[in-house]
Chain A
Amino acid sequence: MGLAKRIIPCLDVDNGRVVKGVQFVDIRDAGDPVEIARRYDQEGADELTFLDITASSDNRETMIHVVEQVAGEVFIPLTVGGGIRKLDDVLRMLNAGADKVAINTAAVAHPEFVKQATDHCGSQCIVVAVDAKQVAEGDAPRWEIFTHGGRKATGIDAIEWCRRMADYGAGEILLTSMDRDGTRNGFDLPLTRRVCDAVEIPVIASGGVGNLNHLVEGVIEGHADAVLAASIFHFAEHTVGEAKRCMQAAGIEVRL
């Protein structure tokens, strides 16, 4: 009896449409974020994360509309990230119905922004999204923060950065391994474990999930509080329910 480990499907949204080819048989419009959100909710998703992968401000309005619609019919926590640069962006997403807002590049550019956002809105609704890449292997492995979709190095140590963001009041870390993202080879477990053990706040592991056992590894070996995946759910290879039963069979507490 206790707190369940969370499974969080992630939806990449481009101009109001979910990308990465969703193939649910019983969904009329495979790109409609509202229909997909409803489907994941019914399957037992513990939360949903929407990442706005479009950069233009026109499309930002579209995202707000998507969040409003989803929040009106899906009653589980919603996190929205992508292009959050100022306090007004945070407030607009919260007002549209997001429960948490993920800050990534803007946190690196202006770390004080995280403090400002948590002071104003409370830690519980600020997630810091961290994109990390391994820069040294061997006995003294090291990971650094990258921005702009993993293209731009910052020289910032990933573990130190996560500790600092926790000190600044972040309620949660969304940790993505840029080495593993899109590979379907599983989470970067050493990275995940180091970050999870270094901070007092919950950590969501992300990047690399290709099968259900990867989710189990993320929790048991990576010490993650929650696991996020996109493609294994989008392509309907597995339902969220299957993922939970697999985790439960491995001795992990889940919400069924």
Chain B
Amino acid sequence: MQSIVIIDFGSGNLHSVRKAIEHVADGASVRVSNRPEEVVAADRVVFPGQGAIGSCLQAMDATGMRQAINEVIASKPLLGICLGLQALYEHSEEDGGIDCLGILAGRVKRFSAPGDSALKIPHMGWNQVDQNPHPLWSGIEQGSRFYFVHSYYVDSSEPTEVVGVTQYGVSFTSAASRGNLFAVQFHPEKSQRSGLKLLENFVSWDGADG
């Protein structure tokens, strides 16, 4: 029986992520944990996140989770969701500007809508993802819609790490991957069939490169 751990920073609502993973991972042990040793011991890890990036990074430092995440991606699959994508980059404009984990190359910026009343912030709802080939997209039609809710977006500086692109005023990185790591800006746990399929692909993914 495989074990899947969902990292908890005490900030977000992890109920949805947990329910969706349980739904697709028949018989797996799914746990929510804020303990680095449990995260490192899992077979695969989900790194979700909501709220503000500053408090997320603070909680990671307080619990020693930074190191745990580095250990995880060296050896087993990790799925980042929403803030769990943004935190992997070098720097974010949120909370007055903050350095992040620096695992992926690029920066996190705020959507801006100067004089453009059509561009609502947060970017909320179902938008399309233009997929670059990766095993986790298996069985999901090109251009499928996923559910987004965010005010900051990833501007990647390493094209080989970009596996999904979405348009909202700008063209931004909505999915990224490197080695054992796959991370998405949208919420697969709230994206109905396409989202569940992505989670199903993740729970059977061996990691290490598409």
Decide: A95 and B196 in contact? CB cutoff 8 A.
no
Complex Cα distance A57/B133, Å?
A: 51
Residue of A nearest to B193 (CB): A75
Residue A97 at the chain B interface, CB threshold 8 Å? yes
Contact of A226 among B11, B125, B151 (CB under 8 A): B125
Query: If A1-B167, A125-B13 touch, does A6 touch B126 (CB 8 Å cutoff)?
Result: yes
Decide: B117 and A4 in contact? CB cutoff 8 A.
no
Segment at the interface with A among B73-81, B155-163, B184-192: B184-192
Across-interface contacts of B151 in A (CB, < 8 A): 123
Across-interface contacts of B128 in A (CB, < 8 A): 1-2
Residue A12 at the chain B interface, CB threshold 8 Å? no
Decide: B127 and A95 in contact? CB cutoff 8 A.
no
Contact of A172 among B12, B16, B124, B191 (CB under 8 A): B124
Across-interface contacts of A20 in B (CB, < 8 A): none
Residue B172 at the chain A interface, CB threshold 8 Å? no
Decide: B13 and A95 in contact? CB cutoff 8 A.
yes
Q: Count of A residues near B, CB < 8 Å?
A: 35
Instruction: Point out which of A2, A125, A203 has the most chain B C-beta atoms below 10 A from its C-beta.
Output: A2
Decide: B126 and A46 in contact? CB cutoff 8 A.
yes
Residue of A nearest to B119 (CB): A200
Decide: A225 and B120 in contact? CB cutoff 8 A.
yes
Decide: B13 and A202 in contact? CB cutoff 8 A.
no
Residue A41 at the chain B interface, CB threshold 8 Å? yes
Residue of B nearest to A123 (CB): B122
Decide: B149 and A171 in contact? CB cutoff 8 A.
yes
Q: Count of B residues near A, CB < 8 Å?
A: 37
Decide: B168 and A3 in contact? CB cutoff 8 A.
yes
Query: If A201-B122, A202-B122 touch, does A122 touch B51 (CB 8 Å cutoff)?
Result: yes
Residue A30 at the chain B interface, CB threshold 8 Å? no
Decide: B125 and A225 in contact? CB cutoff 8 A.
yes
Residue B52 at the chain A interface, CB threshold 8 Å? yes
CB distance from A41 to the nearest CB of B (A): 7
Residue A72 at the chain B interface, CB threshold 8 Å? yes
Contact of A124 among B117, B149, B191 (CB under 8 A): B149
Decide: A75 and B15 in contact? CB cutoff 8 A.
no
Decide: A2 and B15 in contact? CB cutoff 8 A.
no
Decide: B121 and A200 in contact? CB cutoff 8 A.
yes
Complex Cα distance A123/B145, Å?
A: 23
Instruction: Point out which of B19, B113, B124, B148 has the most chain A C-beta atoms below 10 A from its C-beta.
Output: B124
Query: If A71-B15, A72-B19, A96-B15 touch, does A255 touch B190 (CB 8 Å cutoff)?
Result: no
Complex Cα distance A191/B147, Å?
A: 28
Complex Cα distance A77/B124, Å?
A: 11
Query: If A75-B190, A76-B190 touch, does A3 touch B127 (CB 8 Å cutoff)?
Result: yes
Residue B84 at the chain A interface, CB threshold 8 Å? no
Bitwise, B104-145 to A at CB < 8 A (1) or not (0) is 000000000100010011111111100000000000000101
Residue A197 at the chain B interface, CB threshold 8 Å? yes
CB distance from A180 to the nearest CB of B (A): 23
Decide: A3 and B123 in contact? CB cutoff 8 A.
yes
Q: Taking beta carbons and an 8 Å cutoff, which residues of B are in contact with A?
A: 11-13, 15-16, 19-20, 23, 50-52, 113, 117, 120-128, 143, 145, 147-151, 167-168, 189-192, 195-196
Q: Taking beta carbons and an 8 Å cutoff, which residues of A are in contact with B?
A: 1-6, 41, 46, 71-73, 75-77, 94-99, 121-125, 171-172, 197, 200-203, 225-226, 255
Question: Closest 9 CB pairs between A and B?
Answer: A122-B51, A255-B126, A94-B13, A4-B126, A124-B149, A202-B120, A255-B145, A3-B127, A97-B15
Known A71-B19, A75-B195, A202-B125; 7 more pairs at CB < 8 Å? A1-B143, A1-B167, A98-B13, A99-B13, A99-B16, A197-B117, A225-B125
